[in-house]
């Protein structure tokens, strides 16, 4: 089923996207394109293409963010990321490519938002659903931009052809994101039009994350409650470590945990997940095409890893030992593996899953007031699953007790630690550390490195400043670059 869904997406993009992506898209008359559901859906599918690439969320983005954590180290050209002093020229170029991909995706969304309302063979209800998906994806792209670069130019359907656009403030970008999501959420369907497209719950998950980054924890809590109370999602049952393949495995089309994933498949060619290539050692058996082992950790030298309870099934599922000259306690990430891969992996990238929402909710309850029994229960649901227990059945041997973490900060620290274990390898930890304002202290404690301020944001790339004269490459640049 996964291969069929990806094939449909590919065929629609090939059939309809070439016109939408011409150098002068405004020259395409509205009456000749974006008139039928198939044409608009081809345009929607084109929004996903830039961010699914290996140079963006298909691999290199995850690599960069994982190396920034306190538990991972980079190798080769990624090694300078371990210094926490900002980016060298190689990595500046990489993040510049990511900037370009996010804006390419935004432009594709803007084209749909501009043209779909003009479609002559579309009902108003259809237009609303299509616009909701495009606005969700546009907001998602801006969310990645604002967290990594700060304030950025806002390009929408009205000014997308304007070259000279100044940086908007971070506050303005977040306001734009919220406007898109709050418009899209009630109009998105309960069930996505295609596997990998957003649903109403996807928008609620993204809104929860956005509100948390704005420290509007009461709103984030209430949005997470909507997802939990919908009854549409549940944690996948795990008995042994390998059962986590039911969540992350290459052959899994979907699961009760999936809220919004970027979808990949081994076939057709070019639709695979490149990230496993960067995770694995050649001939490890976990990824037959080979591997760059771009990042690694150490089971004895790294404090985060060393303190991780080895009875936690997530530890066994996530790591394997591999010696390649850095010591006998070197370990590599195997969360995303595909033993049947030929050219790229079939794993999906889990942007939002039910475990995220349970942990979001638990933290937000405490952040907005004080920890309570319900917040602890949601945290314990994730913890029980991690130890092979029924998530819905209390287990005194496993469960955390509220009396031991009744202080607000103690409870928040506990949730953040558990989220680190749960999301290891998913490129979510670094953004948590930044949101909470604890990145510097965590890196100092975990890696003994003093982080430079400039390391917290990426530089506005020269591919923007060379052509957009409204951004001064010196005065408007992020600090330190």
Q: What is the pLDDT along the chain (481 residues), one digit of tens a residue?
A: 465 455 445 544 444 433 333 333 343 444 568 999 999 999 999 999 999 999 999 999 999 999 999 999 999 999 999 999 999 999 999 999 999 999 999 999 999 999 999 999 999 999 999 999 999 999 999 999 999 999 999 999 999 999 999 999 999 999 999 999 999 999 999 999 999 999 999 999 999 999 999 999 999 999 999 999 999 999 999 999 999 999 999 999 999 999 999 999 998 888 999 999 999 999 999 999 999 999 999 999 999 999 999 999 999 999 999 999 999 999 999 999 999 999 899 999 999 999 999 999 999 999 999 999 999 999 999 999 999 999 999 999 999 999 999 999 999 999 999 999 999 999 999 999 999 999 999 999 999 999 999 999 999 999 999 999 999 999 999 999 9
> CB count, 10 Å around CB of 315?
18
- CA 412/CA 433 separation, integer angstroms: 12
Q: Answer positive or negative: Cα dihedral of 392, 396, 397, 398.
A: positive
Q: Answer positive or negative: Cα dihedral of 28, 38, 349, 285.
A: negative
- Residue given tokens 């395409």 in the structure block: 28
- 142 shares a domain with 228: no
- 373 shares a domain with 293: no
- 298 shares a domain with 220: no
- CA 105/CA 97 separation, integer angstroms: 12
Tokens at 354, concatenated: 């039910």
- 294 shares a domain with 176: no
96 phi, psi to nearest 5 deg: -65, -40
In a domain, 414, yes or no: yes
- CA 316/CA 305 separation, integer angstroms: 12
- 134 shares a domain with 27: yes
- 472 shares a domain with 328: no
- 224 shares a domain with 283: no
In a domain, 18, yes or no: yes
In a domain, 78, yes or no: no
- CA 415/CA 423 separation, integer angstroms: 12
- 215 shares a domain with 359: yes
303 in Cβ contact with 312 (< 8 Å): no
CATH number reported for the structural domain that contains residue 181 in this entry: 1.25.40.390
- CA 156/CA 110 separation, integer angstroms: 6
Contacts of 179 (CB under 8 A, 6+ apart): none
In a domain, 393, yes or no: yes
Structural domains in the chain (count)? 3
Range of the domain at 19: 1-72+86-187+461-481
Residue 267 burial class via C-beta count within 10 angstroms: exposed 0-12, middle 13-18, buried 19 and up: middle
- CA 363/CA 374 separation, integer angstroms: 11
What is the reported pLDDT for 33? 83
- CA 35/CA 40 separation, integer angstroms: 7
In a domain, 319, yes or no: yes
- 309 shares a domain with 429: no
- 322 shares a domain with 437: no
296 phi, psi to nearest 5 deg: -160, 175
- 137 shares a domain with 31: yes
- 133 shares a domain with 19: yes
CATH number reported for the structural domain that contains residue 430 in this entry: 1.25.40.900
On the CB side of 426, CA atoms within 13 Å amount to: 23
In a domain, 286, yes or no: yes
Order of strands, sheet of 73-74, starting from the edge strand that comes earlier in the sequence: 73-74, 295-298, 330-333, 319-321
In a domain, 338, yes or no: no
Torsion, Cα of 213, 440, 296, 416 (10° steps)? -50
261 in Cβ contact with 5 (< 8 Å): no
In a domain, 370, yes or no: yes
- The CA–CA distances, whole Å, from 136 to 90, 106, 379 equal 32, 10, 28
Q: Which residue in 230, 252, 251, 262 sits closest to 354, CA to CA?
A: 230
Tokens at 62, concatenated: 């995850």
């Amino acid at each position: 089923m996964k291969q069929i869904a990806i094939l449909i997406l590919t065929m629609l993009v090939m059939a309809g996207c070439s016109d939408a992506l011409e150098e002068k898209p405004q020259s395409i008359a509205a009456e000749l394109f974006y008139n039928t559901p198939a044409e608009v859906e081809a345009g929607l599918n084109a929004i996903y293409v830039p961010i699914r690439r290996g140079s963006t969320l298909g691999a290199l983005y995850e690599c960069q963010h994982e190396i920034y954590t306190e538990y991972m180290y980079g190798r080769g050209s990624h090694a300078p990321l371990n210094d926490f002093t900002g980016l060298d020229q190689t990595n500046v170029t990489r993040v510049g490519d990511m900037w370009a991909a996010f804006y390419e995706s935004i432009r594709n969304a803007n084209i749909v938002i501009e043209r779909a309302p003009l479609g002559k063979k579309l009902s108003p209800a259809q237009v609303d659903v299509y616009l909701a998906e495009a606005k969700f994806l546009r907001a998602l792209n801006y969310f990645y931009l604002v967290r990594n670069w700060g304030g950025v130019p806002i390009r929408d359907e009205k000014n997308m052809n304007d070259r000279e656009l100044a940086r908007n403030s971070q506050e303005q970008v977040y306001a734009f994101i919220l406007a898109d999501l709050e418009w899209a959420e009630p109009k998105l369907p309960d069930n996505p039009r295609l596997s990998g497209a957003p649903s109403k719950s996807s928008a609620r998950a993204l809104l929860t994350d956005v509100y948390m980054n704005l420290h509007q924890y009461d709103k984030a809590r209430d949005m997470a409650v909507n997802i939990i109370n919908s009854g549409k999602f549940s944690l996948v049952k795990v008995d042994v470590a390998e059962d986590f393949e039911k969540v992350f495995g290459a052959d899994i089309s979907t699961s009760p945990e999936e809220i919004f994933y970027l979808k990949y498949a081994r076939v057709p060619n070019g639709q695979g997940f490149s990230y496993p290539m960067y995770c694995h050692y050649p001939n490890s058996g976990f990824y037959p095409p080979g591997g760059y082992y771009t990042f690694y950790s150490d089971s004895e030298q790294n404090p985060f890893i060393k303190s991780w309870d080895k009875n936690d099934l997530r530890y066994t599922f996530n790591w394997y030992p591999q010696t390649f000259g850095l010591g006998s306690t070197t370990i590599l990430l195997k969360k995303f593996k595909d033993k049947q891969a030929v050219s790229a992996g079939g794993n999906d990238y889990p942007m939002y899953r039910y475990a995220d929402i349970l942990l979001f909710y638990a933290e937000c309850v405490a952040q907005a007031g004080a920890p309570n029994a319900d917040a602890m229960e949601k945290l314990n649901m994730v913890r029980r699953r991690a130890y092979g227990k029924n998530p819905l059945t209390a287990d005194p041997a496993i469960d955390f007790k509220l009396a031991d973490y009744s202080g607000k900060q103690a409870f928040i620290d506990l949730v953040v630690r558990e989220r680190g274990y749960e999301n290891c390898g998913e490129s979510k930890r670094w953004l948590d550390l930044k949101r909470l304002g604890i990145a510097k202290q965590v890196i100092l404690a975990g890696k003994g490195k003093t982080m430079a301020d400039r390391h917290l944001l990426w530089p506005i790339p020269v591919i923007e400043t060379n052509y957009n004269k409204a951004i001064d490459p010196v005065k408007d640049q992020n600090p330190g670059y």
